Amino acid sequence: MDLIHLLPDSVANQIAAGEVIQRPASVVKELVENAVDAGARHIDIIAVDAGRTSLQVIDDGKGMSETDARLAFERHATSKITDAADLFALTTKGFRGEALPSIAAVAQVELTTRTDDQDLGTHLLIEASKVNSQEPVACAVGANFIVKNLFFNVPARRKFLKTNQTELSNITTELERIAIVHPDIAFTFTHNGTTLLSLSPSGMKQRISAIFGSRIAERLLNVRVQTDMVSIHGFVGSPESARRRGALQFFFVNNRFMRHPYFHKAVQEAFTQLIPADEQVPYFICFDVPPADIDVNIHPTKTEIKFENEQAIWQILLAAVRESLGRFNAIPTIEFDTEGRPADIPVFIPGSSTHPSVPTVSVDPTFNPFDTTPSSATIPSSGPFPFSRHSALTPSSCTPSQEEKGLWLSVNQEDGGQAVSGDVPAEERLHEILTESLSTDFLASSLFQYRGQFILTAVESGLMFIDQHHAHVRILYDRYLNQLTSKPGVTQGLLFPDVLQLSAKDVATFESIQPDLHALGLDVSFLGGDTVAINGLPAGLEGVDPQRLLLDLLASVAERGILDTEAVQGRLALTLARAAAIPAGQVLSTLEMHDLLSQLFATATPTFTPDGHTIVVILPQENIERMFK
The per-residue pLDDT for range 189-223, each reduced to its tens digit, is: 999 998 999 999 999 999 999 998 888 888 899 99
**Predicted confidence (pLDDT) at residue 107 exceeds the cutoff of 50:** yes
Please count the CA atoms within 13 angstroms of the CA of 80 that sit on its side-chain side. Answer: 23
Q: Are residues 132 and 258 part of one domain? A: no
Task: Please say which residue of 199, 215, 230 terminates a domain.
Answer: 199
Q: What is the pLDDT of residue 77?
A: 72
Q: Are residues 398 and 285 part of one domain? A: no
Q: Are residues 61 and 178 part of one domain? A: yes
- Can you tell me the distance from the alpha carbon of 169 to that of 107, in angstroms, rounded to the nearest whole number? 21
Please check whether residue 263 lies inside any domain of the structure: yes
Q: Are residues 559 and 481 part of one domain? A: yes
Task: Please say which residue of 312, 327, 342 terminates a domain.
Answer: 327
Q: Which of 44-53, 139-148, 342-351, 371-380 has the lowest mean pLDDT?
A: 371-380
The per-residue pLDDT for range 405-450, each reduced to its tens digit, is: 433 333 333 334 333 333 444 444 544 544 444 444 444 458 888 8
Q: What is the pLDDT of residue 527?
A: 83
Q: Are residues 168 and 267 part of one domain? A: no
The per-residue pLDDT for range 543-569, each reduced to its tens digit, is: 678 888 788 778 777 766 654 556 667
Listed in sequence order, the residues at least 6 apart from 442 whose beta carbon sits closer than 8 Å to its beta carbon are 457, 458, 459, 460, 464
Q: What is the CA radius of gyration of the chain?
A: 32
Please check whether residue 123 lies inside any domain of the structure: yes
- Can you tell me the distance from the alpha carbon of 376 to that of 85, in angstroms, rounded to the nearest whole number? 84
The per-residue pLDDT for range 488-523, each reduced to its tens digit, is: 667 888 888 888 888 888 887 888 788 878 877 788
Q: What is the pLDDT of residue 275?
A: 86
3-state secondary structure of 428: helix
- Can you tell me the distance from the alpha carbon of 478 to that of 473, in angstroms, rounded to the nearest whole number? 9
Q: What is the pLDDT of residue 343?
A: 47
Residues spanned by the domain of 485 = 388-629
Q: Are residues 393 and 285 part of one domain? A: no
CB burial of residue 83 (10 Å; 0-12, 13-18, 19+): exposed
Q: What is the pLDDT of residue 493?
A: 87
pLDDT band at 481 (very low <50, low <70, confident <90, very high): confident
Closest CA to 615 of 476, 468, 452: 468
Q: What is the pLDDT of residue 360?
A: 55
Q: Are residues 240 and 180 part of one domain? A: no
- Can you tell me the distance from the alpha carbon of 358 to that of 353, in angstroms, rounded to the nearest whole number? 15
Please check whether residue 334 lies inside any domain of the structure: no
Q: Are residues 464 and 577 part of one domain? A: yes
* CB atoms closer than 10 angstroms to residue 552: 19
**Predicted confidence (pLDDT) at residue 614 exceeds the cutoff of 60:** yes
Whether the Cβ atoms of residue 113 and residue 121 lie closer than 8 Å to each other = yes
Tell me the CATH number at 236.
Answer: 3.30.230.10
Please check whether residue 349 lies inside any domain of the structure: no
Q: Is the CA virtual torsion 83, 87, 88, 93 positive or negative?
A: positive
- Can you tell me the distance from the alpha carbon of 625 to that of 623, in angstroms, rounded to the nearest whole number? 5
Q: Are residues 153 and 219 part of one domain? A: no
Q: What is the pLDDT of residue 122?
A: 96
SS (H, E, C) 189-224: EEECCEEEEEECCCCHHHHHHHHHCHHHHCCEEEEE
Q: Are residues 90 and 59 part of one domain? A: yes
Mean pLDDT of the chain: 78
- For every residue of 230-288, DSSP letters joined together read -EEEEEEE-GGG-BSS---EEEEETTEEEB-HHHHHHHHHHTTTTS-TT-B--EEEEEE
Please check whether residue 161 lies inside any domain of the structure: yes
Task: Please say which residue of 165, 199, 233 terminates a domain.
Answer: 199
Q: What is the pLDDT of residue 517?
A: 81
Please check whether residue 339 lies inside any domain of the structure: no
Listed in sequence order, the residues at least 6 apart from 578 whose beta carbon sits closer than 8 Å to its beta carbon are 244, 473
Total-model pTM = 0.65
Q: What does DSSP assign to residue 389?
A: G
Q: Can you point out the beta strands (E) in 398-502?
A: 448-450, 454-459, 462-467, 491-501
Tell me the CATH number at 155.
Answer: 3.30.565.10
Please name the amino acid found at residue 396. S
- The strand pair at 448-450 and 42-48 is best described as unpaired
Tell me the CATH number at 447.
Answer: 3.30.1370.100
Please check whether residue 22 lies inside any domain of the structure: yes
3-state secondary structure of 188: strand
Q: What is the pLDDT of residue 319?
A: 94
Q: What is the pLDDT of residue 376?
A: 38
* CB atoms closer than 10 angstroms to residue 606: 23
Q: Are residues 277 and 194 part of one domain? A: no
Angle at 177 between CA 175 and CA 179, to 5 degrees: 65
Q: Are residues 221 and 98 part of one domain? A: no
The per-residue pLDDT for range 284-301, each reduced to its tens digit, is: 999 999 988 888 765 566
Please check whether residue 19 lies inside any domain of the structure: yes
Mean pLDDT confidence for 166-179: 92
**More confident position, 57 or 1:** 57
Structural domain count of the chain: 3
